[in-house]
Structure 1
Amino acid sequence: MAVLKVIEVLSNSNTSWEDATRKAVKQASESVKNIKSVYVREQSAVVENGEVKEFRVNVKLTFEVK
């Protein structure tokens, strides 16, 4: 039986929500090993002068505890 743990991570990108999600996983994987899945919990964006300037995500990362 595997033991799994879930943490929440916030990330942002000037490009897209997908890029923000990839950045969250990449950054977290530097200190958290065995990441198995990512769940995008929330998406938001910063708007300035009628244009989207920043994409933000709140993700849940699931990883196996060994």
Structure 2
Amino acid sequence: MAVVKVIEVLAQSTEGWEAATQEAVNEVSKSVDNIESVYVKDFQAIVENNQVVKYRVNAKVSFLVK
């Protein structure tokens, strides 16, 4: 029987939501092995002077527990 654990993380990027999602996976992978998937729960953008300057994601990262 496989057991999958899910952790929720927040990540951001100046390049876009895809880059923010990749940043979430990159950071989690520093301390977690066997990442199976990432589910982006929420998106947020930070605006300064009428320009989007940061993209944020609230992501759930799933990984296999061995």
TM-score, structure 2 normalization: 0.98
- Segments of 5+ residues of structure 1 without an aligned counterpart are none
Aligned residues: 66
Give the alignment's TM-score, normalised by structure 1: 0.98
Q: Deviations over 1:2-60 (max 9, x none)?
A: 00000001000000000000011011101011100000000000001100010000000
In the TM superposition, structure 1's runs of 4+ consecutive aligned residues that sit over 6 Å from their partners are: none
Identical positions, percent: 56
**Cα RMSD after superposing both structures:** 0.5
Aligned to 2:40: 40
Structure 2 residues without counterparts, runs of 5 or longer: none
